[in-house]
A and B are shown apart, each in its own frame.
Chain A
Amino acid sequence: MEFSYDIAGGDFSRAGAASSEVKKILKQLNVELAVIKRVVVALYEAEVNVVAHAADGVMQVTLDSASIEVVIRDRGPGIPDIALAMQEGYSTASPRVREMGFGAGMGLPNIKRNCDSLDIESTVGVGTTVRMVTFFNR
């Protein structure tokens, strides 16, 4: 099963809408609640990253009986140093975004903790692709 959602960069009023749609579907499919809770945290953080940093993006969800794979691809500034970006507390968010309580450098660490495999590819000036997989019945 595959689903796809567009994410608009800069539009914080819609941030979380795609994650919310995926959550509804996972609930309808009776995916274990513990898995849904982890997936939702990772999805939301990845979605907010697109909103906060990129021009736009797409969230693609692929579900089978054993796992959920989510690929979030954006057109944006890219990440020059992924290892640095993964560090808790590191952020390049704007002052406006920080005032809202985002940009505390906790997003990527939250994603890492809440999926079973995480792969980030980025090209500066082009965009970033985040791929995360979470297995059921762990």
Chain B
Amino acid sequence: MQVKDILETLEIAPRPGDDAERELAREVTGGYASDLLSDVMGHAREGQVWITLQTHKNVVAIASLKELAAVVLVKNREPDEDTAAAARAEGIPVLTTPLDAFEAGGRLYRLLRGA
């Protein structure tokens, strides 16, 4: 499954960008929901979609270092300006869902695991 395949389920409107197609083709292997950065650093795995309410630039640094598939910001949160710039530079999709973390995680789980 690729990032583009989770957009509809999570009610995400993709942001237009030069590399949107390539970014949205990143492979999704799972999900991780947390707002504690060290928790994500220590326990998230490559290819996971990170569900969080944190919008600052360090989110991109962690997503890049951990090679996460994408960051999904909950409850219509938008990335800070420097976050969006860093995301473009690193090629990490930072997406916005209107859903809360429970709903987003639940839908993503069902989509990935078919439960």
* CB-based contact B37/A102 at 8 Å: yes
Residues of B within 8 A of A113 (CB): 42
- Least CB distance from B11 to A in Å reads 24
- From the candidates B38, B57, B58, B82, name the one contacting A104 in the complex (CB within 8 A): B38
A125 to B112, CA, bound (A): 51
Say how far A5's CB is from chain B's closest CB, in angstroms.
14
Bound CA–CA A100/B80 (angstroms): 12
- Whether the pair A41, B42 counts as a contact (CB closer than 8 A) is yes
Majority secondary structure, A binding face: helix
CB-CB under 8 A for A101 and B65, given A12-B58, A41-B42, A106-B42: no
Q: Are B82 and A13 in contact (CB under 8 A)?
A: yes
CB distance from A14 to the nearest CB of B (A): 9
> Cβ of B36 < 8 Å from any Cβ of A?
yes
Q: How far is the CB of B27 from chain A (nearest CB, A)?
A: 15
For residue A40, CB closer than 8 A to chain B, the reply is yes
A–B complex contacts, Cβ < 8 Å, 15 sampled: A12-B56, A12-B57, A13-B82, A16-B61, A20-B61, A20-B65, A41-B41, A44-B62, A44-B65, A48-B37, A48-B38, A101-B54, A104-B36, A104-B39, A107-B38
Q: Which residues of B are at the interface with A, using a C-beta cutoff of 8 A?
A: 35-39, 41-42, 46, 52, 54, 56-58, 61-62, 64-66, 82
